[in-house]
Amino acid sequence: MTPTSIGVLGGGPWGLALARAASRGPSVTWLHSRRQQDADVPGVRLTRDLAELANCRLLLVAVPSNLARSVARELGDHLDGSHIVVHGIRGLSGPELSTVSQIFREETPVRRLGALGGPVQADELAAGRPSAMVVASEFAEVIAAVCDALQSDRLQLESSRDLRGLEWASALVGCLSIGIGFAQARGDVSPGLLAALISRAVDEAATIVTAAGADENTFYGLGGYGDLLASMALTDRPEVVLGRALATGAKLEDARKQARLRVEAIDLVPRILAFAKAHEVRRPIFDAIGAILDGSSEPSVIVRALFRG
């Protein structure tokens, strides 16, 4: 194992962005991708061999949440307790809403786990534009390793010990961003109403985070509230694009195409609603987002529901 090497697993836009960010530091960066178009990533060494990637002590995982368990099982054959695994996956797995760190704990021998979150987007991270993100872990050495790998004068990292809280916050922000895009596309929603939507959505999400066994304050920080505020300005964020498309009458499949990238929240919202109902959490905004996705109500009805809070 090479302590000064960083491995990135996942050749999508987010994985490529993390690889580019890591390659700006002093460590050697490896990228595992099965995509043929990733044959030339400046400053990054490519591999399609997980055993070779496992020579890196720090691994950053950026794959869709629905692949997290199969990837963890496959990668786990090459890992041991000396590795650090940190994921940047905005999703929760299965009807039981397992966090990705839970999955890696179950499927691999790795115990030093962490997650990335916050408002930074793949394009700005890849281009090196100034931004900020959060790294969370129960282990100080995990946070230190990620900061050493990624932090620069153009990327500031905040840290948290509430790993579960950041994972839930990232997932919930993805869901709420659909509502923001939907509201922005409606001509009858003023900036004041949009501010009210965000304020109420944050309180609702923080209550859900608490029901999931995490610290509600995590959602009020950069990984939750800050990330959601950024959605107001990030017009090309996939969830926002999806919400705007649905507000203008597009069918869900057409809206997916307009979003271009996979939107984890589409499949997640119904499971969050089931969780909130089981835990008796009041959830009018998430109910409205569910109606946005399944098209069960007229847009004007959904707008009223969004601000019923």
Kindly state which CATH superfamily the domain 2-161 is placed in. NAD(P)-binding Rossmann-like Domain (3.40.50.720)
In the chain, residues under CATH classification 1.10.1040.10 are 164-306
Condensed to tens digits (0 to 9), the pLDDT of residues 298-307 reads 777 777 777 7
Three-state SS at 119:
coil
**Mean pLDDT per 10-residue segment, the chain (309 residues):** 83 93 93 71 90 96 94 96 96 94 98 96 92 97 96 94 98 96 85 88 96 97 96 90 94 94 94 97 93 82 70
In the chain, residues under CATH classification 3.40.50.720 are 2-161
Whether pTM > 0.85 for this model: the answer is yes
Q: Where are the alpha helices (DSSP H) in the chain?
A: 13-23, 50-53, 68-76, 100-107, 122-127, 140-150, 163-184, 191-211, 216-219, 227-231, 238-247, 252-259, 265-278, 284-294, 299-306
Q: Give the class (CATH, top level) of 164-306.
A: mainly alpha
Token readout for 90 is 């905005």
